[in-house]
């Protein structure tokens, strides 16, 4: 996937959010990443730590919560859950590709710690 461009976008959004709230430093950013997004969290973390330098987030910790994949097969009706990365959208029971994902596509900022430092 495209971790560097996602890290850039995440940083831009977080800095904007921080300024809008009247603060000038970001201490930490919590994000959720679904396991069906195809995002490699190690690569995302690496890109974040490179890109944050020289920004109001240059000491910020990125906390990544991975969300498992949950889905329902439209053919066999079975529910499934997986904590593995999930890229081929296939029912683990019957092999059908006609599935509905309930979770796993998340890519959100959920919480930030901010402060003022002169």
Partner 1 sequence: MKIKVTTKILDANDRIAEENRKMFEEAGVYVVNLMSSPGAGKTSLLEKTIESIKDKVKVGVIEGDITGTNDAERIDKLGVPVVQINTEGACHLDANMIAEAAKELPLKDLDILFIENVGNLVCPAEFKVGENIKVMILSLTEGDDKPLKYPLMFQESSVLLINKIDLKDLLEVSIEKIKKDAQFLNPKIKIFEISCKTGQGIEEWTNWLLTNIS
Query: What minimum distance in Å lies between the beta carbon of 103 and partner 1?
Result: 14
Burial of 5 by CB count in 10 Å (0-12 exposed, 13-18 middle, 19+ buried)?
Answer: exposed
Closer to partner 1 at the Cβ: 22 or 54? 22
* Radius of gyration of the chain, Cα coordinates, nearest whole angstrom: 17
CB 52 within 8 A of CB 15: no
Would you count residue 36 as binding partner 1 (CB under 8 A)? Answer: no
Would you count residue 24 as binding partner 1 (CB under 8 A)? Answer: no
Please provide residue 96's backbone torsions phi and psi, each rounded to the nearest 5 degrees: -70, 150
Place of tokens 């959720």: 32
The correct pick among 41, 82, 96, 103 for binding partner 1 (CB under 8 A) is 96
Mask of contacts with partner 1, 42-81, x by CB under 8 A? ----------------------------------------
Q: Which residues pair with 80 in a beta bridge?
A: 71
| Residue 74: Cβ within 10 Å count | 12
Would you count residue 100 as binding partner 1 (CB under 8 A)? Answer: no
Joined tokens for residue 103: 């979770």
Would you count residue 101 as binding partner 1 (CB under 8 A)? Answer: no
Residues that bind partner 1 (CB under 8 A): 1-2, 5-6, 8-10, 13, 17, 21, 23, 31, 88-89, 96-98, 107-115
């Amino acid at each position: 996937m495209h971790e560097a461009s996602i890290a850039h976008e995440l940083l831009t959004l977080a800095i904007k959010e921080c300024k809008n709230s009247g603060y000038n430093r970001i201490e930490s950013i919590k994000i959720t990443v679904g396991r069906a997004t195809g995002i490699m969290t190690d690569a995302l973390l690496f890109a974040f730590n490179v890109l944050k330098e020289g920004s109001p987030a240059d000491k910020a910790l990125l906390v990544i919560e991975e969300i498992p994949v949950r889905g329902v097969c439209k053919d066999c009706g079975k529910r499934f859950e997986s904590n593995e990365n999930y890229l081929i959208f296939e029912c683990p029971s019957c092999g059908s590709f006609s599935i509905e994902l309930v979770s796993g596509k998340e890519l959100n900022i959920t919480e930030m710690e901010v402060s003022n430092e002169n």
